[in-house]
Amino acid sequence: MDPVKWNKRASLVYAVGIWTMFGGYGYYRYMHKNDPPIQMPMEEEDNRPNVKKYETKHSKTTIVYKENFVPYSTRFLNLFRSTSESSPESPNHEEQK
């Protein structure tokens, strides 16, 4: 294998990829230069207690919590907690009798 030929072929592939990327960017800019700006709908105030809103410089996040929702991690821990309390090896088992 000749390294000079390999380098020329790799350079050609790289050049074609770069110019394709530049061409795609130029085409996109040309096709979308007259698009009207996107209008965001006005948001109404939501003062429910299970709604939390976080607003940063770049994003707005609204988190809606379900009422009486138990997190999955708590459910998982309660599953093991209930099985460990009912086992005969637990020290609290004798006190409950």
DSSP string, 7-75: HHHHHHHHHHHHHHHHHHHHHHHHHTTTPPPPPPPPPPP---TTEEEEE-SS-EEEEEPPTTPPPHHHH
Q: What is the pLDDT of residue 12?
A: 96
Q: Average of pLDDT values for 14-26?
A: 95
3 state DSSP class of 85:
helix
Tokens 């000079």 -> residue: 4
Q: What is the pLDDT of residue 11?
A: 96
**Angstrom distance (rounded) from CA 79 to CA 54:** 33
Query: Is the pTM above the cut of 0.85?
Result: no
Tell me what the pLDDT averaged over the chain comes to.
Answer: 82
Look at the alpha carbons of 71, 75, 78, 80 in this order and tell me if their dihedral is positive or negative.
negative
Boundaries of domain holding 25? 3-96
- Enter the DSSP assignment of 97: -
Domain count within the chain? 1
Q: Average of pLDDT values for 46-51?
A: 76
| Tokens linked to 65 | 């919590």
